[in-house]
Amino acid sequence: MAQTHGPAYQVQTGRRDGMVSDMSQAANMPDITAHTIGTTACFFMTKRLYNFSPTGGSDPAINPGFLQELKSTCPQNGNVNVRLPIDRGSGDTFDDQILRNIRSGFAVLQSDARLYEDEATRSVIDSYFGFLSPLFGSSFEADFAESIVKMGSIDVKTGSQGTIRRVCGAFS
């Protein structure tokens, strides 16, 4: 996270990992279209820009001015490998700009835009920008760090289950 100016957090060590790698489990991974740093390819934008269901046009959640910007970067029948930043304005930096983009219709990815359509996730996003939020509210960075640490403790093996890897890329 340091390279992207994100929050620092303690990573727990000594965790026991399972001894099985099962490719079928990859289907349970989060959708590849949800990120806050980096780029995406026009390939992942085509349907949202030109054949959005159910209208067949463009996703109405996209800010009209931004829609034209996206279409000029990813023209219909253009090069689907062209890359664009996922987080408009700060694609290489970890910050709350992605949330500001989502609120304003500047979400590049459909999955991010949908976060603001759901009442529960909309209220979470909005909670970071209230009048007193900087003084009394939690910060996006702190909440992110806390959630990463929590996810690291999901399905921890104990006792004689699993192994502690000395080389992370191999079973020992």
Beta-carbon contacts of residue 70 (< 8 Å; ≥ 6 apart): 45, 49, 62, 84, 108
Give 1's DSSP letter. Answer: -
Report the binding-site residues for Ca(2+): 36, 87, 95
**Residue stretches of the annotated binding site for heme b:** 35
Q: Are 49 and 110 in contact, with CB atoms under 8 Å apart?
A: no
Distance CA 56, CA 126 (A): 30
Of 101, 29, 16, 115, give the one whose Cα is nearest residue 65. Answer: 101
Annotated binding residues, written as ranges, equal: 35-36, 87, 95
